[in-house]
Each structure stands twice: as structure tokens, then as C-alpha cells.
Amino acid sequence: MTKLLIVESPSKAKTIQKYLGKDFRVVASVGHIRDLPKSNKAAIDVPAGFVPHYEVVKGKEKIISEIKALAKKSEEVLLATDPDREGEAIAWHVQEAAGLKNPRRVVFYEITKEAVNIALEHPRKIDTNLREAQEARRVLDRLVGYDLSGLVWKKVRYGLSAGRVQSPALRIIMEREREIRAFKPVTFWTIKANLEDKDKHSNEWLCSKESTDKKEVEKILEKGKKGSWKVIDIKETKVARAPRAPFITSTLQQTASSRLGLAPSRTMSFAQKLYEAGHITYMRTDSTNLGALARKDIEKLIKTKYGENYFESHTFTKKSKNAQEAHEAIRPTHMDVEYAGITDGEKKLYQLIWQRTIGSQMKSAEVMRTKVIANVDTECQPFWLNGSRVIFDGWLKADPMSASEDVILPKFLSGDLLKLIDINSEEKQTEPPARYSEAGLIKELEKRGIGRPSTYASIIKTLDDRGYVDKINKALFPTDTGEVVSSFLEEHFSTYISDSFTAEMENELDDIANGERTYKKTLADFYKPFTEVVKSKEKAEKITNLGEAPNKEKCPICEANMIIKLGKSGKFLSCEKFPECHGARTIDGKELEGPKDTGELCPKCSKGNLVTREGKFGMFTACSRFPKCKFVKKDEEQEKANSTGVECPLCQKGFLSERRGRFGIFYSCSNYPDCKYAIKAKPTGEKCKLCGALMMDGTKTIPERCSDKSCANHNPHKLDKIK
């Protein structure tokens, strides 16, 4: 009989199967096999002690059946999902769903033949503490998300959301935005002199003082033009640039963002593929440690590739006191492989990891920094010329992108005369603090103890998906919706979205993982006071009025005062007499055309008239009593032109038509709003062989896949792996 090894990824299964041969059968759960139901009422039994009620993910029934059948034929069942809390939870769910008896748990921190075989020699039981820590996070996030989101729906706008960790992240972005708005710039001047040395080489020298006094600036310029210039001092300082620690999850995301322009979610996706293909160690880790075998391989490579004098062993302080389960830094599994990966993104990320790993065990770079000081006379501010040169490149040899562009200065002697070519001043203003980039926000979240390595990417993605932030030139700008939601939460739930509370909750989850706290007590201590606060806010005033209109704008219809309101597309100005008057303007004061009465009675409610409105994607005709009546008149010609001819699988009355929404083109039922079926890509008309849902068209980079997100066939990169 063979042994059954269960992982969560088909690509990982394929890699491991090659290493183990015929004695093992390696299969994949294809991610989570069970999850909480969408309905919150059925998800968690709070009175019973926060007992979660899981259900099998749609489309995974066939996989569970396959695992059951193979387990009966196997002499041993091994669960080898990812080596973190989520992986521990997936292993437990597989055991429960498939009814496995006494399965053993193994973990692979790297997918190499040697590491896999060593791991198989040390099986263990499923770690209940790790599994409960993940379950506590999942349940906590569900309870907080539902309670907070429900209140935000009532008090701000329907369809918005608030989460336990995303809300503190949004608050941090808003705090920076308020700093920027409150910032008062100060005018100052910089002075530069273009001076020529004895060898006829000219350089731009900078005055050592930035002045806020225009008269002082003019005085320096006058003296500079009349006086004679000479070198008065030369200072040279030898500086050592120490190598950086190998990557952990947060530093990998930060560096990939700043150097490669990758969003954290893309970075983790590429890293996952590199890990599953056996190219790098596990990518979710807080540890900067390198194993003994890895160190030997790195030493050998450095001495061979760069020379004996480049190697120097380094150990680095653990980045986090709560370093998680993965016990090594992110590093290549084979040091002699400098380039690896399938896509360009994977190759660039691998090279980044390789360079940082090799560089971490090399000698410090030695840089000579030079400052030459010149002056006109003793009463004038001195002028500086800075430069540097690398004496020994050290670790920069392996990681050249970390080297700054060096300015090599000519040889100067104290007393050398200089000739003035030009001197001028430039007026500037002090600048406010910069907005967070994705890399900057991850660094800030890590600094404040908010979230953990596995959550940083999802936090930022959620803020973007919810429309709470916009990324412009790498900077994260809070949207109007994000600002209103954050302000509401800061006013009513300041404790629960504070740094200290959020970080302490993360520590408590770590304590559960370490066996130092219990699941039930942790949730009970949090949830009872939290629900009391939520209940106390039920009577809070609804946020419909965000303040008076700027510049006392008047309604274009009735001349009444206008107020700021939040719409789906952001802030706008509305007549204070709404709904009696529909006068509206953009936030900049431009008049918005109100609904025009067509004279037709609404066929659905028979109470309002049909009016023509301007929406985000053009004109449409709907009931004047919206939102009480949501009737929308169909444009028959446009509907016909947009129809795919594929029958709606939900109502079987309409056909799927192309539409454009906030996130681009999607396809929905022509029978909307009576039927709200929608998918994100064009339907092919064929049905999924696994779950029976509609299949969607593919593109150059994405093959056809199932329209049901919960189906295993939905992930395009795993289709050819599923049997």
C-alpha cells in the first residue's frame, strides 16, 4: 500500500510527487476545503462558546470524496499543508471533512527533495493551539466585520464595510491626510554657486544655510558676486555600510514595492509560486535566521563567485518578538541558482531574494565620504560640495541596486582659489509629510503591531477593493467614502480601532498559538463589551449631512443653501430641501442636471413618475421614488446590442448582457433588478464539469474558468492540475 500525502496546492503536489515517487500518492485540497457560511446567523453560535459552524466550500465535494477513497487504500495519511496557522487549520478541516483517522502532520519550509524527506521523518499531530489561533482570528474578524459593517450601512451608506484590522489601517492613512491638510508651508531660499576649480572643472556648491530671510539671501548673493572664493576645509570620513538582513515577509513586500513596483498581493502571489516550485523557502515568516546548511552553501558561493575576502558571517536580530511558525528567512533553496521563475515578475522577485540573501553574508562596503567647504569671506555662510566613492564594494557586489550613485570629486587642497561662474537663489516651500505608499503602510503597520505578515497584503487589497483608497503614483489617497467611514469609526469606536487595542489583540492571538490563552476566554473578553458599544451606537445620528457647502453655494433650482453629502461616486453638493428639491452640484460647484420627468407612471409602484437621470455610465430612466422603488426602464435596443445570448442560469428568464460598473465590464441578467445574477467575464455558454456553473471566456493570460468563485475550477492557474 502507498502513503497518502495531502497538500493544498496542485502545483506543490506535482513538485513533491516527483521527489517521492511511487511509494506516495500526493493530492491537493486546492486551498480551503471548509469555511464559515455567508450568513452570519448560521456561522457562529456565540452562546455555546463561539462555536463556528463550517460548511464544505462549493465545488470541493468531489475532492473530499477522492481523499476519502484514497485514504481507505493508504497505509498512512500525512497532512502537509503550509507551515503556518492557516495551513494548520486547512489540515484540520481536511481531517474533519474527510473523516480521517489519526492522520499525521508534516511541514515543509522549502520544497526540495532533501527538505521533504527530512520533514517526513518527523511527523506530528495537528497543533490544536495553532489551529485555534487561526479559528479565533477568523471568528473574531467575522463578528467584528458583521457588527461594524451593519452599523456603517445604517449610519453612512448601504454596502460599505468595516473590519477589525482594515479599519485601523484606514485610520492611519486618514491621520496622515489630516496632517497634510493642516500643514502650513514656510517659504525659504536655497543658494547655489557654480564654481570653477584650477583645472577648469565646474561644480555646483550649496550654501550650508537655508534662509527664510529674503534680505539675508540678497546679502549673501551680493557678497558672493563681489568676493573671491577659495577652499577653506576638506573633510573625509570613511563609512562602513553594513549588509541588510535576509528578507522576512514585510521587508520583501516593501522592497518589491519600491524597487519592482509590485503591489503586496502580487508579491505574495509570485512568492507562493516560487515556493511551490521549490525555488524559495516559505514566504510567510518573521524570522531573519538562516539555517546551518544554507549558510555553508552561501559561504561556498561567495568565495567562489566573488573571492575569499568578500565573505563574512552575520546573524541578525529577530525582527519580531512573536516570530511566527516559519523558522527561516525567505531565501533561495539552491544558492547556485541566480535566476528562477516562469514569468518576468517571478524572475525579478527571485533575483531580489537571491541578492538580499547572498549579500547578507558578505563584508560591509567601505565608502569614503568627502565634504569640501568653500567661502567668500569669514562673514558669509560657507558653501559645501559633497561627494563619495566606494573603496570596497563588499555586499554591494551581490546587490548592486542598493548602491547609491557616487559623486566622484576632483582633488582639492585647502586654500585653492575658485572662480565664480554664477550664483543664484531658489525660492521653495517646506513640504507636508508624504502620503503612505503600500511599502510605507506595511512598514507602519508592522511598527505599530497591527496585523501579521500573512495579513498585510490582504489589508491593502481590501482598502482598495472597498474603494476606501486610491493609489496615485504609488501614494495612497483616502477617497471621500474612506474618509467618511474612518471619521465615523474614529468618533464612535476609537478604542477598537486604536493601535494599542489592535496590537494587543494580535498578541492575544499569538498567546493562543503558544498555548498561553484559551480560545473561548479570548473571544468572550472581547465580544461582550464590544457588542454593548455597538448597541449603544444604534441611536447615533445618521451621517447624511457632511457640512455646509463651500463658498456658500446656492441650489441651482430653488436658490436654497446647499450641503455636502456622500454619494456612490464621492462627495457632492445637495439642496438642503432634498427630497422636495433635487438640485445638485459637484463638489467644485458645477451644476448637475437633476432628473427630468417623462410624464410616464412607474409600472412597478404606480406611485411615482419615471424620470431620466444621469448616472456614472450615461443616462437612464427610473422611478422618481428611488430608493423606495428601484424600477429601472430597460433600453431595449441597447440591451439587445449588449446581450451575449446566454440564458441566465438563475432565473432562466433573462439573458446575460454586457454592462460596465465601477470595476470595469461585467455580465449580468437582463431581468435585473428582479434577478441579480452577475459574473465578471463573458460567459461561454458551457457549464463547469465540477459544479455545473457557467464557464467564462479566457484571455491571453487567463484560460477559461468557472464563474463560481468557490469552485476549484475558478482559479485559472490550477485548472490543468485538477483531475
Q: Summarize pLDDT for 286-335 with one digit per residue, the tens.
A: 889 998 889 999 999 999 999 999 999 999 876 554 444 447 899 999 99
Is residue 383 a part of any domain in this protein?
yes
How far is C-alpha 15 from the chain's CA centre?
28
DSSP secondary structure of 656-693:
EEEEEETTEEEEEETTTTT---EESS-EEEEE-TTT-P
Q: Which 3 state secondary structure label does DSSP give 18?
A: helix
Determine what percent of the chain is predicted with pLDDT higher than 70: 95
Residue 158: predicted pLDDT: 80
> Sorting pLDDT into bands at 50, 70 and 90, what band is 628?
confident
Give the E-state strand segments of 178-337 in sequence order: 187-196, 202-207, 229-241
Residue 257: predicted pLDDT: 93
Is residue 74 a part of any domain in this protein?
yes
Which CATH number is 200's domain given? 2.70.20.10
Q: Summarize pLDDT for 321-363 with one digit per residue, the tens.
A: 444 444 789 999 999 999 998 899 999 999 999 999 999 999 9
> Sorting pLDDT into bands at 50, 70 and 90, what band is 11?
confident
Residue 687: predicted pLDDT: 87
Kindly report which listed range (308-312, 551-555, 614-618) carries the lowest average pLDDT score.
614-618
Residue 689: predicted pLDDT: 82
Q: Give the pairing of strands 664-669 and 469-472.
A: unpaired
Cis peptide before 103 (omega within 30 of 0): no
**Cα dist. 186→178, 183, 211, 217, 303 in Å?**
18, 10, 11, 16, 53
| Domain end residue (candidates: 327, 359, 391) | 359
Q: Summarize pLDDT for 709-721 with one digit per residue, the tens.
A: 777 777 655 444 3
262 vs 639, higher pLDDT: 262
Kindly report which listed range (301-315, 379-393, 695-709) carries the lowest average pLDDT score.
695-709
Is residue 132 a part of any domain in this protein?
no
Residue 722: predicted pLDDT: 37
- What is the average pLDDT across 581-599? 79
**Residue 354 and residue 403 in one domain:** no
Is residue 414 a part of any domain in this protein?
yes
The region, left, alpha or beta by phi > 0 then psi within -120 to 50, assigned to residue 466 is alpha
DSSP secondary structure of 77-144:
EEE---SSHHHHHHHHHHHHHHT-SS-EE---SB-SHHHHHHHHTS-B---HHHHHHHHHHHHHHHHH
| Domain end residue (candidates: 589, 610, 629) | 629
Q: Summarize pLDDT for 527-546 with one digit per residue, the tens.
A: 999 999 999 998 888 887 78
**Residue 208 and residue 263 in one domain:** no
Residue 350: predicted pLDDT: 97
Is residue 80 a part of any domain in this protein?
yes
- What is the average pLDDT across 641-649? 88
**Cα dist. 427→52, 214, 424, 430, 431 in Å?**
63, 9, 10, 10, 13
Number of domains in the chain: 6
Q: Give the residue carrying C-alpha cell 445637495.
A: 574
Q: Which 3 state secondary structure label does DSSP give 594?
A: coil
How far is C-alpha 114 from the chain's CA centre?
34
Is residue 286 a part of any domain in this protein?
yes
- What is the average pLDDT across 102-121? 92
**Residue 277 and residue 353 in one domain:** yes
82 vs 713, higher pLDDT: 82
**Residue 623 and residue 641 in one domain:** no
**Residue 399 and residue 467 in one domain:** no
Q: Identify the sign of the CA torsion 385, 386, 392, 393.
A: negative
Residue 349: predicted pLDDT: 97
**Residue 14 and residue 118 in one domain:** yes
Q: Which of 407, 406, 281, 440 is nearest to 356 (CA)?
A: 281
Q: Summarize pLDDT for 231-264 with one digit per residue, the tens.
A: 999 999 999 999 999 999 999 999 999 999 999 9
DSSP symbol at 247: B
Is residue 152 a part of any domain in this protein?
yes
The region, left, alpha or beta by phi > 0 then psi within -120 to 50, assigned to residue 550 is beta
| Cβ(68)–Cβ(4) below 8 Å | no
Stated pTM of the model? 0.75
Kindly report which listed range (436-445, 490-499, 598-607) carries the lowest average pLDDT score.
598-607
- What is the average pLDDT across 422-446? 94
Task: Give the residue numbers marked as catalytic.
Answer: 282
Which CATH number is 39's domain given? 3.40.50.140
DSSP secondary structure of 532-568:
HHHHHTTTSPP-----BPGGG-B-TTT--BEEEEEET
How far is C-alpha 401 from the chain's CA centre?
24
Kindly report which listed range (99-103, 356-360, 445-449, 590-594) carries the lowest average pLDDT score.
590-594
**Residue 385 and residue 471 in one domain:** no
Question: Cell digits for 449?
Answer: 503591531
Which CATH number is 485's domain given? 1.10.460.10
**Residue 324 and residue 263 in one domain:** yes
Question: Cell digits for 532?
Answer: 454593548
Is residue 131 a part of any domain in this protein?
no
- Does pLDDT of 594 surpass 70? no
**Residue 520 and residue 576 in one domain:** no
Which residues lie across from 683 on neighbouring strands? 696
Identity of the amino acid at 425: S
First to last CA, the chain: 22
Q: What are residue 669's phi and psi, to 5 degrees?
A: -70, 140
**Residue 450 and residue 529 in one domain:** yes
**Residue 117 and residue 221 in one domain:** no
| Cβ(188)–Cβ(597) below 8 Å | no
Q: Give the pairing of strands 3-7 and 24-28.
A: parallel
Q: Summarize pLDDT for 170-194 with one digit per residue, the tens.
A: 999 999 999 999 999 999 999 999 9
**Residue 151 and residue 99 in one domain:** no
**Cα dist. 458→355, 452, 483, 486 in Å?**
26, 11, 20, 18
Determine what percent of the chain is predicted with pLDDT higher than 90: 54
**Cα dist. 513→7, 78, 133, 135, 510 in Å?**
22, 22, 5, 10, 5
Question: Cell digits for 150?
Answer: 451593519
| Domain end residue (candidates: 629, 664, 691) | 629
| Cβ(679)–Cβ(707) below 8 Å | yes
- What is the average pLDDT across 644-667? 85
Q: Which 3 state secondary structure label does DSSP give 67?
A: helix
- Domain range for 351 is 249-359
Q: Give the residue carrying C-alpha cell 406611485.
A: 607
Q: How far apart are CA 540 and CA 531, in angstroms?
A: 15
Q: How far apart are CA 231 and CA 563, in angstroms?
A: 64
Burial of 324 (0-12, 13-18, 19+ CB in 10 A): buried
- Does pLDDT of 60 surpass 50? yes
641 vs 374, higher pLDDT: 374
- Does pLDDT of 501 surpass 80? yes
Question: Cell digits for 212?
Answer: 527664510
CA-CA-CA-CA torsion for 704, 708, 709, 712, nearest 10 degrees?
A: -70
Q: How far apart are CA 335 and CA 339, in angstroms?
A: 10
Q: Summarize pLDDT for 507-532 with one digit per residue, the tens.
A: 999 999 999 999 999 999 999 999 99
Within a 13 Å sphere around the CA of 222, how many CA atoms are in the beta-carbon half?
7
